[in-house]
A and B are shown apart, each in its own frame.
Chain A
Amino acid sequence: MFSDASAMLSPRPETQGAAVARPVSRPATLATRAAAATPAALAGKVRGLSDRAIAWLFIGPTMLLLLAINIFPLIWTIRLSFTNFRANRPNATVLGVGIDNYVSVLTDGDIWLAMQATAHFLFWTIFLQTLIGFALAYLIDRRFRGHGFWTTVILIPMMLSPAVVGNFWAFLYQPQIGLFNYVVAWLSGVPASSFEMIGSVRLAPWAIVIVDTWMWTPYVMLICLAGLRSIPDYIYEAAEVDRASAWRQFWSITLPMVLPFVMLAVLFRGIENFRMFDMVNLLTSGGPGSATELASITLKREAFEKWRTGYSSAFAIVLFVAVFGMANIYVKALNHVKNR
């Protein structure tokens, strides 16, 4: 089961070519043996399109679409990042500015503030989601009656539109009338109007962490649950025979065997939250001030409000490099853990 995940992350040994007939389970007839003995190229010519032609015919359109919508724009972004182009002034002369945009991105205090906000958001969402998600998965794996139904209920938030979620949490966070403030006030005794989750610089970064955790804990839970269920019972049975305590079993069987799954969940959440835009844009729009201005929100402000297209292209490239670099290092660590 988990070998599939490893296959995704590390090059897979070349699978058998289609033309090489596998041993057929039923008794080989003369025809199957003849087919197996016929060279692939010849067989292909006999039957119309060769396998190679079909392969390119089938993969080609997907590649063309990705080249047109992903690669060509990426190259365009790289080109723009070396200019002073502004998308709202298409007729102004475009000057090459060398690496000036990159220098200003990397020395801009606002960009570093945005990276700090992103780091805070990433760290706390991943920490809380892993903790709660794993605990939930562990509890669900006790297989109580009705666990299937309740698991489905728990999964609902992660299927919703992040933008719509951000918008309705803005309603729940209203200081006077919002349900969130009311419940916190009821539980803690502080007046409901004494704090503003999205209006205060101190609380807003936590407001987005809470919503993201509410939404994505089920994601981590689901992957952890798959990990827990992949541990064969006989390992625990052997541990029981050896009279290992429940605590010991948890630390030396459960945790190490689920760890690769947890790390995979962290990888996916990390990439997703590094790109986070929609939910936060509708919940706080990066405010108050720039307290919740994550990298994507800064990018949107630079590109589509200040129209500094060249500058924001350079920032976009820096973000690409950052996300690919971090994902690669992380995948190496993941493979290391898995092969231990």
Chain B
Amino acid sequence: MHRGITTAHSLVEPGPRMRAAAGSLVVLYALITIVPLAWIILTSFKTPSDAISYPPKVLFTPSTEGYCNLFTTRSRQTPEYIAALPPATGRCDQVARNAGMVVAGPSNYVPRFVNSLIIAFGSTVLSVGLGVMAAYAFSRFKVPLKDDLLFFILSTRMMPPIAVAIPIYLMYRELGLSDTRLGMIVLYSAVNVSLAVWLLKGFIDEIPREYEEAAMVDGYTRLQAFRKVVLPQATTGIVATAIFCLIFAWNEYAFAVLLTSGTAQTAPPFIPIIIGEGGQDWPAVAAGTTLFLLPILVFTVLLRKHLLRGITFGAVRK
């Protein structure tokens, strides 16, 4: 980038006051933009009554009630019944008893989270695997109607998800794929493969053909050159693409809410329906949200150099 070649005496370097002013405005925006997220994380450590107090509490005694409620289901019991029970065995047991309840069992959060993991990783492996092969072919070979095929691949991503969901719903019902992890993996792979092909084609285009050609001169077949020369060179691109696919599958809601209800349900349709006595249990919802968003925060930091490419389907590169 040109930033590297800016000379020390460049005429267009912004002055120190201009820089300070720009910096403070950006920092102000960043701080405001992060407040909603910070608030949710704070709320996950509140008790239900602190969470709905007015005025909103910034300072409070942290509690694990939100997380306990997230992972357990509870039933209300009479004080006499609770008094007659043996001493509480764990922290969450104690928290529940303090609220006049008894832990009845684990909640569905863990199975939903596991579904999210399996479906996200499964579809990522499938779409990146298919994508890297198609991208290599589009990058290196003369393919008839190449531009039309590439545009077709991209256009599948423009369709409104609900419109796609109508026939998929019927098709999956016929095939017995409704509410199965396999069905969701195949569906998310089909959605992500367009992104994977476009991104990976960009990355593979950047690998000089001379590398493979030299390898083939040395006796490698085309397939060996692909495996031993191109794939290792494209590792960064493959990892970045895989993380984008993971994030999409992790965040997806429209298909999940329409096509899954139980065994294959992922976390996004589940989190909003976490309810306690008398409506939404906000600390538990906030706790579920916090745990669900943590992996994304990590990925955002890992991906920051490739973000621009990923969000524009490789159209803009840094």
A329 contacts B by Cβ under 8 Å? no
- Residues in A whose Cβ lies below 8 Å from that of B269: 163
Known: A4-B316, A142-B23, A147-B23. A70 touches B289 (CB 8 A): no
Interface size class of A (residues with CB under 8 A): 35 or more
Chain A interface (Cβ < 8 Å from any Cβ of B): 1-2, 4-5, 8-9, 11-12, 14, 17-18, 21-22, 24-25, 31-32, 35, 44, 47-49, 51-52, 54-59, 61-63, 65-66, 68-70, 72-74, 76-77, 80, 87, 136, 139-140, 142-147, 150-164, 167-169, 171-172, 174, 176-179, 182, 192, 214, 218-219, 222-223, 226, 229-233, 236-237, 240-241, 261, 264, 268, 271, 274-275, 277-278, 281-282, 295-296, 299-300, 303-304, 309, 312-313, 316-317, 319-320, 323-324, 327
| Listed A/B pairs (26) with beta-carbon separation below 8 Å | A1-B316, A24-B210, A47-B221, A48-B223, A62-B197, A66-B194, A70-B156, A139-B26, A150-B23, A159-B296, A163-B257, A164-B292, A171-B280, A182-B55, A218-B33, A232-B2, A233-B12, A240-B11, A268-B312, A271-B158, A296-B254, A299-B160, A316-B163, A317-B163, A320-B159, A323-B160
Q: Say whether A237 contacts B26, CB under 8 Å.
A: no
Any chain A CB within 8 A of the CB of B228?
A: no
Among candidates A8, A21, A241, residue contacting B314 with C-beta atoms closer than 8 Å = A8
Of B130, B222, B289, which contacts A65 at CB under 8 A?
B130
**Segment from B73-81, B99-107, B132-140 that makes contact with A:** B132-140
Are the C-beta atoms of B316 and A264 separated by less than 8 Å? yes
Q: List the A residue with the shortest CB-CB distance to B140.
A: A18
Q: Which of B59-67, B90-98, B234-242, B298-306 forms part of the interface with chain A?
A: B298-306
- Given A182-B56, A323-B158, A324-B158, residue A172 in contact with residue B39 (CB < 8 A): yes
B193 and A65 contacting across the interface, CB-CB below 8 Å: yes
- On whether the beta carbons of A59 and B222 are closer than 8 Å, the reply is no
Q: Report A-chain residues with C-beta under 8 Å of the C-beta of B275.
A: none
Which B275-318 residues have C-beta < 8 A from chain A?
A: 280, 282, 285-286, 289, 292-293, 296-297, 299-301, 304, 307-308, 311-318
Contact present for B162 and A277 (CB under 8 Å): yes
**Across the A-B interface, how many residue pairs have beta carbons closer than 8 Å?**
346
B113 at the interface (CB under 8 A from A): no
Main secondary structure of the interface of A (DSSP, over half): helix
| Chain A residues whose C-beta falls within 8 Å of the C-beta of B299 in the assembled complex | 159
B253 at the interface (CB under 8 A from A): yes
Lowest 7 CB-CB distances: which A-B pairs, in order?
A144-B23, A73-B167, A163-B253, A316-B163, A69-B190, A161-B251, A142-B22
Say what secondary structure dominates the interface of chain B.
helix
Could you tell me the distance between the alpha carbons of A84 and B288 in the complex, rounded to whole angstroms? Answer: 42
Q: How far is the CA of A157 from the CA of B149 in the complex (A)?
A: 33
Inter-chain contact B254/A277, CB cutoff 8 Å: yes
